[in-house]
Amino acid sequence: MHGIEFEIAPASGETRRQPLPEYIEGYGEVRAFEGAFANVGVGISDHRPRRSKSVRPGQTKFLATIEEALDRAGLRDGMTLSFHHHLRNGDHVLNLVMEAVARRGVRDLTLAVSSIFPVHEPLVALIDAGVVTGLATNYMSGPVAKAVSQGRLKKPAVMMTHGGRPRAIESGDLPVDIAFIAAPCSDPYGNCNGVRGKSACGALGYAVADAQYAEVVVAITDHLVAYPASPAEITQTMVDYVVEVPSIGDPQGIVSGTTRITRDPVGLAIAHKAAQVIHASGLLEDGFSFQTGAGGTSLAVAAELKDMMKEAGIVGSFAAGGITGYLVDMLEEGLFNNLLDVQCFDLRAVESYRDNPRHLPMDASMYANPFSKGAVVNQLDVMILGATEIDLNFNVNVTTGSDGTIMGGSGGHSDTAAGAKLAMVVTQLVKARLPIVRRHVTTITTPGETVDVLVTDHGIAVNPARQDLIAALEASGLKVVTIGALLALAESMTGIPDEVTFSDDIVAVVEYRDGTVVDVVRRTK
Amino acid sequence: MRVTRTAKAGTLESNDIFIMVSPSEAEGVTLELQSIVLAQFGRQIRETILRTVAARGVTQISILAQDRGALDYTIEARVETALDRALAEPGVIL
């Protein structure tokens, strides 16, 4: 939600479960969240100098093993190593590198991983052994998230956003010593792309800031081609070393064959209502821009939009984000002029990204960094978001489950909510007895001041800051209820959940996209 | 009253609860509850099951409940059906 730049936005922290500490051991001084745009558009942000060494003609970058790359990179205790998540739950690179790292006997490393998946389970042993003591990530699920929730990582994990991570890397808040690029295709001189080879994953947007700003950059590939690799999404000017391994990933886990629209009638009904809200908002006109996740209900909203756009003859400007085959279909049918893609979610998206010049790359900084001269999220009309919980002030939790265990993270949630003209949360009101609308969310991920509307199977609630939207929806005959009414309805079905009890130990710090602390995650009792 | 037969109701689908009741050697109601929402609703699910059993006058029974996020009316219905089946005349299939 934007368009309120000249008002002092209310800080959403007042509904935090507990006040923030001023200092967190293993993290440092806490700069508390002050409002979504408090630090944006004011003053000038610092950038870390981009360091580069020079390479002589004839010098080789191609190394035989990961071990040799670790030697050349000067791996030592306390370093920060970075990885990106385009290979998702099929990624072999992080585990391969960390296996070699562990054999070195180094300790106290911080890993900056754009997202962590169940496949990264071997990290747990390294956390327990003190090889890895710090973690910065935008999303985590599976055994590593569980271990962090249990307080097994020495320092609190830092949960960032997709825009906050490149901001932190570029500014020096998160200085990276060695960046590892999982490269589905590379030449021996370090030109990399994600569109060729057996592990093709498409866009490499999350790896770009790492490649630009790390002290040492190592590309790891399982598809080495003759110089020059084409296209070169990450170029030879950024890469120090190239290593070839038998496999960087499992194609089954990298991209799903298909992404499906939900067949659940409740999900379809929510999507239909969401599309009506978009229509009523007045944003659905030529030049319309849109982003959605790959969840079944979110895709169903895209399907509804597609029909509405066709019927009304509307041509949108772009759809952005992680891209699915569904959005590729809309591009090819002429419903959008362009796609802006930071990561491909399925094979159809990979092929389109490779072959269609209107399917454009965007790196994570261009996508969502608040401290740049303009992120793509600022150009979004409508963003469709999910929620694990949402409170009476529209603060959203997508970081922890209702039992307090970490099971996700912002990813681009906070970034897109802040940028889009209409940030819409779509969800069932109750999921497996859990009321999604809560008095207090377990963890604040996305501040409520950036969330405009909640669409559920039991009604639509609009953020009271958006009286214009309430008026527009009511003028279109859509019924709007208060979020308090949805809370009451949800609790009448489920009963009031017992409070989960937490210890004082902080296991993760949730950073907003500008680097301020929006909340912390404490260990459950 | 006590049950003399083992009976089941419900499924392991999301939003449902699976109930198995069986004869108990000892006086009283023993309840083993597993739930995906144990932290938030374990207490309330337990109360609902015990209340439903008590309403039928059953005082000696062993109950296994595997909950997948069922709401109270589902829990009551599954427990009642399991009890109906356990208490039915021999040869009657409910």
CB contact, 8 Å: B15 with chain A? yes
CATH number, span B7-87: 3.30.230.10
pLDDT digits (tens, 9 = 90+) for B15-34: 999 999 999 998 999 999 99
Q: Is pLDDT of B90 > 90?
A: no
H or E element at residue A27: none
Question: Residue A257: its pLDDT value, please?
Answer: 59
| pLDDT average, residue stretch A103-119 | 97
Going from the C-alpha of A2 to that of each of A35, A417, A423, A465, A466, the distances in angstroms are 12, 9, 10, 11, 10
Structural tokens at position A13? 């922290």
Q: A78-254 maps to which CATH number?
A: 3.40.1080.10
Q: How confident is the model at residue A293 (pLDDT cuts 50, 70, 90)?
A: confident
**Contact (CB<8Å) B71/A494:** yes
In 3-state terms chain A splits into helix, strand, coil percentages (rounded to 5) of 30, 25, 45
Instruction: Report whether pLDDT(A8) > 60.
Output: no
Q: Decide if A500 touches B, using CB distance below 8 A.
A: yes
Cross-strand partners of A180? A218
Q: Are strands A389-391 and A62-63 parallel, antiparallel or unpaired?
A: unpaired
Task: Look at residue A9 in the predicted model and tell me its pLDDT.
Answer: 36
Residue A44 reports pLDDT greater than 90: no
Cβ–Cβ contact A76 with B under 8 A: no
Please report residues of B whose CB lies closer than 8 A to that of A430.
71
Q: Which residue has the tokens 């996740």?
A: A293
Compute the distance between CA of residue A168 and CA of residue A371 in angstroms, rounded to an integer.
10
Q: What is the pLDDT of residue A11?
A: 43
Of A135-149, A215-229, A286-300, the range with the lowest mean pLDDT is: A286-300
pLDDT at position A50 is: 83
- pLDDT score recorded for residue A14: 53
Burial bucket for residue A164 (CB in 10 Å: 0-12, 13-18, 19+): buried
Is pLDDT of A1 > 80?
no
Homologous superfamily of A258-502: Glutaconate Coenzyme A-transferase (3.40.1080.10)
3-state SS string for A292-352: ECCCHHHHHHHHHHHHHHHHHCCCEEEEEEEECHHHHHHHHCCCEEEEEEEEECEHHHHHH
| Contact between A11 and A35 (Cβ < 8 Å) | yes
d(CA A82, CA A77): 15
Q: What is the pLDDT of residue A167?
A: 96
Long-range contacts of A21-27 (CB under 8 A, 24+ apart): A21/A506, A21/A520, A24/A156, A24/A506, A24/A509, A24/A520, A25/A155, A26/A134, A26/A154, A26/A155, A26/A156, A27/A155, A27/A156, A27/A158, A27/A506, A27/A509
Q: Quick one: pLDDT at residue A511?
A: 98
Which pLDDT value is given to residue A15? Answer: 66
Contact A402 B37 (CB under 8 A): yes
Place of tokens 């059953």: B58
pLDDT tens digits, A142-193: 999 999 999 999 999 999 999 999 999 999 999 999 999 999 999 999 999 9
Give the chain A residue nearest B68 (alpha carbons).
A432
Three-state SS for A219? strand
Q: Do the interacting molecules here have an ipTM over 0.90?
A: no
Tell me where in chain A the CATH 3.40.1080.10 domain(s) lie: 78-254, 258-502
Within 8 A of B37 by CB-CB distance, chain A residues are 402-403, 432-434, 497
Q: Is A265 on the interface with B (CB under 8 A)?
A: no
User: Does residue A259 have a pLDDT over 90?
Assistant: no
Q: Where are the domains of chain B?
A: 7-87
For residues A71 and A209, give the distance between their C-alpha atoms in angstroms, rounded to a whole number. Answer: 23
Mean pLDDT of A400-422: 96
CA angle, residues A315, A320, A322, in degrees to nearest 5: 140
Return the pLDDT at A114.
Answer: 98
CA atoms within 13 A on the CB side of A477: 1
Q: Please indicate whether residue A63 or residue A299 has the higher confidence score (pLDDT).
A: A63
- The answer, for B54 touching chain A at a CB cutoff of 8 Å, is no
Q: In this predicted structure, what is the pLDDT of residue A2? A: 46
Burial of A22: CB neighbours in 10 Å, binned 0-12, 13-18, 19+: exposed
DSSP string covering A425-438 = EE--SEETTEESEE
pLDDT score recorded for residue A16? 74
pLDDT higher than 60, residue A3: no
Helix (H) and strand (E) counts in chain A: 15, 28
Average pLDDT, chain A: 94
